Amino acid sequence: MNPDRNDLFGWQLNNPDQDIFDVEIMEVFGECRDCEQAVYGCTMPCEAVRRLVPKEGRIIKLGHENESGKAKLSYFALLNQGDVRFILLRTPDYLWATASYISHEQVPAWALSKLNHGKEAA
């Protein structure tokens, strides 16, 4: 598995918008699906790592926050024909990843500055 630095991916990642994204399976984990402890005691991922691929436009990773004991929060921008939508990816250590749209106001200032810097460099 060699994800690009701008890839939006995670374990069993949901698709927040099927009109905008296709889902690509990057990796499937072992035989854990048949594990009797899968529900209660198994700590190994039992499914797949999924990547969201925009049907149009491109994804830019703006950065992440990772506080001890909390889910990693990664901020992305989807650029498509002059439109910008922001996405928050939550990746807890032992739970499924979730992606959701967030408003401009919910994106930290440091992450927005990376988006503005990237536009100037392009």
Domain locations along the chain: 8-121
Closest CA to 52 of 76, 82, 81: 76
Closest CA to 108 of 78, 77, 79, 83: 77
State the pLDDT at residue 54: 94
* pLDDT of 27 over the 60 cut: yes
* pLDDT of 102 over the 60 cut: yes
Structure confidence by residue, pLDDT tens digits, 29-59: 655 555 554 444 555 555 778 899 999 999 9
Residues 54-66, mean pLDDT to the nearest whole number: 92
State the pLDDT at residue 56: 94
* pLDDT of 99 over the 90 cut: yes
